[in-house]
Structure 1
Amino acid sequence: MRWYARELGADEEAWGNAGLLHDFDYEQHPDEHPLWGMALLREQGWPQDVIDAIAAHYAAKTGVHPTTPIQRYLFACDELSGFITAVTYVRPSKSVHEVEVKSVTKKLKTPSFAAGVNRDDVQSGAELIGLSVDEHVANCLKAMQADADKLGLSGVQ
């Protein structure tokens, strides 16, 4: 999210926070996600655009569809970033630096791989931001490779 914010001249802090916080409540409140988290963030005074982006990443539950850039990009990055992480974890090196666009797109065509990832959301997310899946994968890879150490995706030593 921060990478796309920089590319688009958007608020990197807000976009980064939306990306970081959008699923924070899922483990402890899966049935109430993201409503529980949104309520807590609202109570704590988080900016409304961050809360709205979190709502839009799960429109089926919240009824908020992604319309603003932060909302569209969060939706687009959500499933794909998790999928790229899964592709990284199955590599012997566990390094995102060795993941290529073609590796990700090939795995996307294998329904049994990371079966919990909604492939339709990956496709519609890319369309929502006006990119092909390959272009979006390439961008997300660049972003994740740039922050591989922070993400724990630099590989085994």
Structure 2
Amino acid sequence: MTSILLLHGPNLSQLGARDPAQYGTDTLEDVVAVSRAEAEAAGARLEAEQFEAEGALVSRVHAARTDGTGAVLINAGALTHYSIALRDALDLLEVPVVEVHLSNVHAREPFRQHSVIAAVCDGSIVGFGTAGYPLAVRAALALHDRHVA
């Protein structure tokens, strides 16, 4: 059974309350639930974790190298735009990595339009709100299947 690791960075614990016009009213628990349902429907297992601290998130990515993780989905929040440490950690992974964002970061403030992690991810899904997460699960599983074939 493929194990998918869904990681969320700073402030995503505040979904549902934080700027609903931009991020919607779904909570992080809602996002995890639709992601897990999609994974389980495809016969995969999904583990989800959220980190406010950059170092803790980087450490969890490091652990994914050896804990049986088959694919990683990541919404790094603001760390997307400046964390070279996270970028370098993701670059060490030998499993598919899909970047996902609720909002269309390319249509937002200039500083949000650049992702330092995108270059080490297999792809990005942005702008579809919570509906982007099941898409990310399917993409990660398709990439995983190609990777192990």
TM over 0.5: no
Coarse TM-score class (shorter-chain normalised): 0.3 to 0.5
Higher relative contact order (CA 8 A, sep 6+): 2
- Could you tell me the TM-score, scaled by structure 1's length? 0.33
Structure in which a larger fraction of residues adopt helix: 1
Structure in which a larger fraction of residues adopt strand: 2
- Could you tell me the TM-score, scaled by structure 2's length? 0.34
Give the greater-gyration-radius structure (CA): 1
